[in-house]
Structure 1
Amino acid sequence: MTSLFKNILRASVIVPAIAVWVPAFAADTWQVKADDSDIKFSGTQLGADFEGAFDKFTAEIVFSPDDLAGSKVSVLIDIASVDTENADRDSQIISADWFDVAQWPTARFETKSFREIGPGQYEAVADLTIRDVTKEVVLPFNLEIEGNEADAEGTLVIKRTDFGVGQGQWSDTSQVGDEVTIRIDIDATR
């Protein structure tokens, strides 16, 4: 047997053995538990704090702490599902001066990358699109995974006027504050 043939034969045995031995990390697909998950927000109106939530949203989550580069999250929020426990405010929020749901019925959060910042703590760099305006945002979040269950909680502060939310007289931030705090609490299973 020639030495070239022996080397080829040896390589054909070693390479598959290495492929079996090296663990393959792949991001897991997660399903959101809608009844246990929330996207809430808070702001100020005439100097008083108010809170609300978007009751309907869908999420595609592929995530693993061992494969952040292969992880991706896409969330689509139904703006018309807004609930601030004030019917007048809710009807204003979906109007043309605010979110204009007739033209832009959804908001989108699409991750670009993830970074671990501590044990169980991460940052998601994402594009947030509201009223057809896209801005890059950074969402810090805590993640707890136990078996096939995961809970992610995070907070993001944005300026509504950066996205054109509040047209005309409502672009003045003296009546409705510019900063809006968005809080997520997502429970999911894989």
Structure 2
Amino acid sequence: MSPVAILVLILAFYSSAQAVEYNDVNRTASQISFTYKQLGQRVYGTFSEFEGTLTFDTQKPEAGHALLKIQLASIDAGSPDANDELQRASWFDTATYPVGVYESTGVAALGDNRFKISGNLTIKGTTRPVDVDVVLKEQSGIGVFDGEFILKRGDFKIGEGEWAGNSVVSNDINIKFKMVAPQR
């Protein structure tokens, strides 16, 4: 359920006034979370360990680039039992695939500080294209990139075997993130 980008997803801002460049991601101020339904109940979780890089110039948003690497074992799905289960081969298989990666391939400005970031998300050795909607808010020389997308866990073989399908855990995982980057 790596967002990631989840992911991810961290990039873009367009300003017609003057060029502003953002780089690096402040890990401490940033957050990746997710929600899904389990037996009809909404469940909330987070990933606590990730790193991101960002290069972005507001005068050239199409040239921006973002890379997000998420330590999948850092998942907190609300209980130690759930966290342990999610490490297993039928879920994230963190022994074999410890990191989920989102890397951008393009940025499209949508207006009003909104962007669509296109990229590739890799989880469990499977790579799929993922578009992420992002809004940039500038706050005292800091760019806050808020975004979200729906991850289809079946596309990445997350929750195989008895966990496949939607009867217990929803296939749609809502990934949200807030990436904070300083202005340079």
Question: Does TM, normalized by the shorter one, top 0.5?
Answer: yes
Q: Deviations over 1:81-139 (max 9, x none)?
A: 00122111111111111000000001001000001111111110010111111111110
Alignment match, 1:128: 121
Alignment match, 1:118: 111
1:186 aligns with 2:179: yes
Q: Could you tell me which amino acid in structure 1 is paired with residue 56 of structure 2?
A: F
Q: Hey, what's the Cα distance between the residues in 2 that align with 1:177 and 1:98?
A: 13
Q: Hey, what's the Cα distance between the residues in 2 that align with 1:167 and 1:26?
A: 47
- Counterparts in 2 of 1:82 and 1:65: CA distance versus 1, 3 Å: same
Structure with the bigger percentage of helix:
1
- Counterparts in 2 of 1:47 and 1:146: CA distance versus 1, 3 Å: closer
Alignment match, 1:58: 51
Shift of 1:172: 2.5
1:44 aligns with 2:37: yes
RMSD: 1.6
List gaps (5 residues or longer) in structure 2: 1-17
Alignment match, 1:69: 62
Q: Could you tell me which amino acid in structure 1 is paired with residue 131 of structure 2?
A: V
Q: Hey, what's the Cα distance between the residues in 1 that align with 2:139 and 2:42?
A: 35
Q: Report which structure shows greater RCO (CA 8 Å, sep ≥6).
A: 2
TM-score, reference length from structure 1: 0.83
Aligned length: 166
- Counterparts in 2 of 1:92 and 1:121: CA distance versus 1, 3 Å: same
Q: Hey, what's the Cα distance between the residues in 1 that align with 2:133 and 2:165?
A: 29
1:99 aligns with 2:60: no
Shift of 1:34: 1.8
Q: Are the counterparts in 2 of residues 127 and 134 from structure 1 also a CA contact under 8 Å?
A: yes
TM-score, reference length from structure 2: 0.85
Q: Hey, what's the Cα distance between the residues in 2 that align with 1:32 and 1:150?
A: 10
Shift of 1:69: 2.7
**Structure 1 runs of 4+ with >2 Å offset:** 25-29, 145-148
Say which SS state the counterpart of residue 162 (structure 1) adopts. Answer: helix
Shift of 1:27: 7.9
Q: Could you tell me which amino acid in structure 1 is paired with residue 100 of structure 2?
A: A
Q: Hey, what's the Cα distance between the residues in 2 that align with 1:26 and 1:144?
A: 15
Say which SS state the counterpart of residue 68 (structure 2) adopts. Answer: strand
- Counterparts in 2 of 1:133 and 1:27: CA distance versus 1, 3 Å: farther
List gaps (5 residues or longer) in structure 1: 1-24
State percent identity of aligned pairs: 26
Q: Deviations over 1:131-160 (max 9, x none)?
A: 111111110010023453110101100110
| Match 2:83 to one of 87, 90, 95 | 90
